[in-house]
A and B are shown apart, each in its own frame.
Chain A
Amino acid sequence: MTGYILKRLLAAIPVLIGLSIIVFLIMALIPGDPAQAILGNFATPENIARVNRELGLDKSLPEQYFIWIFNVLQGDFGRSYILNRPVLDEILDRFGATLILAGTALVLCSIFGILAGIASAVRQFGWTDRLVTLVVLIGISLPSFFLGLLLILLFAVQWRVLPASGMFAVYGGGDLPDLLYHLILPAVTLAVVATGVVARLTRAAMLEVLRQDFVRTARAKGLDENTVIYKHALKAAMVSVVPVIGIQAGFVLGGAVYIETVFQWPGIGAMLVKAISTRDILLVQGGVLIVAAAYVFVNLLADVVQSLLDPRLKT
């Protein structure tokens, strides 16, 4: 198992390096540069040249890239042009917030998605199934940013029971209840779509598994229906659900971009949107790298869990 994990981690390295090159090229293709963003209205060619010199952006593209990758390999992600602080500090600050949000959403969507999927499969064509199917369909058909705005309108403005934005109370607060309180709306919004996907998949996987011969064997043994469903069928269904939860991590991380913008969550998604628009290349590079690494890691985790569940996959 350890060897397998190591192999997977090694395989991720070229992916991450390739990704950093792509990001670098795309960023180079975008018109405008960080000097432009720093100077705003005052961006005369003269000023831009001066600022570019100050930022070391007057070097050739490959040169810039190699300087960057060389520094990264030594653990130095450089300084953000716009924020005037080390990229790593900013990313770690932001990434924690995103982890809390995306992690909660992922846990929510896994729990509720799987529960709803099972309920809907077990009571197939019954009331529960119809209800779950409907709710799931509504979930995956609503634009998440629209849902977020509606929730703010209702819970924060109309009823004033939940905060409209932010991660902590503005003054005071800062403890766990405060965080949970601020987390509810964004996490729920973010989880809704992913829950739909997981629920649909769990339902399909359960239905598929319930048809398998080994389930018939379990029944032929005289096991009660609960054991058949929750022990035999569920375990087998999880083998195909777990990797999808891994893939969902990617969508949740991506969807976090909208949600962080709408809810002012100080996460890495909102940071990257801004960094792209201000051409803060080093920040974009570092941020994308971290998010991609997180994605690779979650998928690796999902694969490990999957192989723990399914002895046939052990190598």
Chain B
Amino acid sequence: MHKLIKGIAAIVLTAGVAAGLMSYAVAQTPPNVLVVGQIAEPQSLDPQHVSAVNDFRILMNVYDGLVRYKDGTLEVEPALATDWSISEDGTEYTFNLREGVTFHDGSPFNAEAVVFNFERMIQEDHPYHTGTFPLSFYFSAVTSVEAVDDMTVKFTLNEPFAPFLSNLAYPAGLIVSKAAVEEHGEDFDRNPSGTGAFKFVEWQSNTRVVVDRFEDYWDGAAPLDAVVYRPITDANTRVAEMLSGGIDVMVEVPPDNVSTFADDPAFTLYEEAGPHLWFLILNAKEGPFADMRVRQAANYAVNKEALVENVLQGTATVAAGPTPPAFNWAYNEELDPYPYDPDRARELLAEAGAEGAELTFYVTEGGSGMLDPVAMGTAIQADLEAVGLDVTIETYEWNTFLGIVNPGLEGKADMAEMAWMTNSPDTLPYLALRTEAWPDQGGFNSGYYSNPEVDALLQQARTSTDQAERAELYKEMQAIVYEEAPWLFVANWKQNAVTTANVENFSLQPSFFLMLQDVAKPN
């Protein structure tokens, strides 16, 4: 018996040592193959089934929409549609489609495909309306989609809707192959087919998604042979993989690792400000924050400079108001962020008689765009304590957090962390600042801010098709919201990514998309 055990032990040891010594030594990715470290497994590769930025990073390279954002901007340019016209009243959009484009499965791109896509998304009784369509409300204004001829499509809206073109450039507007949906049915999520620069090869659960160059890409075949997306949820592991050479590109570098990569010539660090806002919702309906002076005091009390410089290590800038500067045409340059002024905060608190007020503060543990929420929340709590507010933190995992914050803070909390990434200056204020966006009416105004003037400005900006006019309206709105401080404005994120030094033509987009069509990695 003991001989047997010794034998087994010997075998195990030998196998272990042999495997350990095997000359895999340093992981090295092959040339012309780009390995991207993602923050999570994609939920689906059906662009209409997803809502996470993480999934967009794959989808934008596999599919195209009718329009897309011009490189480095949030301005719309032609993609699968070569040009379009808008009717006088702003309710009819007619698109001319690009000729000679085929899907990866070989089926042709035409008006029928476009109509199929939008009807599948909007009509709940459509035979292929299976699964969930989280962003279908982007097109809730669309009443009908018709093929005027084989290469022309007309959208009819129920009212003028200014963000429509921008929404078409968003992943929910990406065009999928009708033939592939019909073939795979519910399993299209894992057997995607688009017209993009890369075609889908395989998806191994929680291991990798592989896409290969699509030779017939209408906009010129990509330099890369293939892209491999690896889900690595743990930020440390992602950093470790990047340092040990297991991946070529890493997105969302943890703030404290940024300098490690920036100082190392083997890596290149990229940063790009985007339309992102990190803020605290303040409960304006009840409790201390019902008084505007207390809300302003909170804005003065928090040292936002210190937060973005130290906790976020410069991966964000201080936010001034509800609109991120990335929407440059709609951003009100005249507003400066509330300065860090604890004395002013104490004065305001004294005026409002809110010294020593007890506050409950909802903090999330993670979530998209939440930028180290626990550390940030803790630091904010300490700053508020310093001016004499008694703040108790309650932390929740992201989905639970949304589940209790979105229905409104009334009776539960005085403040809650929140972050938004949007594609239009309209989205966030329209969904989260209007009176009609109070939770009981289906919006995200969880702090119950209400100002009829703001409501009117937003409604006007949404239906106007003149960008200059919209810009003025948005700037006016920002000034009011800044003054009345329904939120504690904290930070605008600069998204970042690291590549190995041999990755060429890489850039980040303000849209937070990852476009790999022109990226090369020759060795």
Cross-chain contact A180 with B368 (CB below 8 angstroms)? no
Main secondary structure of the interface of A (DSSP, over half): helix
Asked if A230 is an interface residue, CB under 8 A from chain B, the answer is yes
Cβ-based interface call for A308 (8 A): no
B230 adjacent to chain A (CB < 8 Å) = yes
Instruction: Report A168-193 CB contacts with B as 1/0, cut-off 8 Å.
Output: 11111000011011011000000000
Tell me whether A184 and B20 are in contact (CB under 8 A).
yes
Residue of A nearest to B418 (CB): A41
Q: Which residues of B are found within 8 Å of A90, using beta-carbon distances?
A: 205
Indicate whether B101 reaches chain A with its CB closer than 8 angstroms.
no
Given A84-B186, A164-B241, A164-B244, A111:B234 Cβ within 8 A: no
Assess the B232–A38 pair: CB atoms within 8 A. Answer: no
- Whether B35 and A171, one on each chain, are in contact in the complex, defined by CB atoms closer than 8 angstroms, is yes
Are A31 and B135 within 8 A (Cβ)?
A: no
B72 close to chain A: CB less than 8 A:
no
Neighbour of A165 across the interface among B186, B241, B245, B398, CB < 8 A: B241
Q: How far is the CA of A112 from the CA of B5 in the complex (A)?
A: 10
Complex interface: chain A residues within 8 A of B501 (CB): none
When each residue 261-284 of chain A gets 1 if its CB lies under 8 Å from chain B and 0 otherwise, what string results?
111101000110010011100000
Q: How far apart sit A45 and B403, CA to CA, in the bound complex (Å)?
A: 10
Interface residue? B119 (CB, 8 A): no
Q: Which residues of A contact B443 (CB under 8 A)?
A: 44
Q: Is A105 in contact with chain B by the CB < 8 A criterion? A: no
Interface size class of A (residues with CB under 8 A): 35 or more
CB of A124 within 8 Å of the partner chain: no
A-B pairs under 8 A by CB, number: 198
Shortest CB distance A235–B (Å): 7
Contact B402 A111 (CB under 8 A): no
Residues on A with C-beta less than 8 A from B237 are 152, 164-165, 262-264
Q: Would you give the shortest CB distance from A183 to chain B, in whole angstroms?
A: 8
- In Å, the complex CA distance between A69 and B51 comes to 31
* Chain B residues numbered 183-220 whose CB sits less than 8 Å from any CB in chain A: 186-187, 189-190, 204-208
Q: Once the chains bind, are A270 and B134 in contact (CB under 8 Å)?
A: no
The 8 A CB mask of A208-249 against B (1 = contact, 0 = none) is 000000000000000000100111001100000000000000
Residues of A with C-beta under 8 A to B186: 79, 84
Contact check, A171 vs B9: say whether CB atoms are below 8 A apart: no
Given A32-B403, A85-B187, A170-B228, are A41 and B15 also a contact pair (CB < 8 Å)? no
Do the beta carbons of A177 and B22 come within 8 Å of each other?
yes
Among A35, A39, A108, A171, point to the contact of B29 (Cβ < 8 A). Answer: A171
Residues of B within 8 A of A44 (CB): 137, 406, 431, 442-444
Interface residues of A in 270-303 (CB under 8 A from B): 270-271, 274, 277-279
Instruction: Tell whether A84 pairs with B12 under 8 Å between CB atoms, given A37-B399, A42-B137, A45-B442.
Output: no
10 residue pairs of the A-B complex, CB under 8 angstroms, read A38-B43, A38-B134, A46-B442, A51-B132, A84-B46, A85-B190, A170-B230, A229-B2, A262-B234, A266-B206
Pairs of residues from A and B, 4 with the lowest C-beta to C-beta distance, nearest first: A32-B403, A230-B2, A266-B206, A164-B240
Given A84-B189, A266-B206, output 12 extra A-B contacts at Cβ < 8 Å: A40-B367, A42-B51, A51-B134, A54-B129, A108-B12, A156-B240, A165-B234, A166-B232, A170-B246, A171-B30, A230-B5, A277-B399
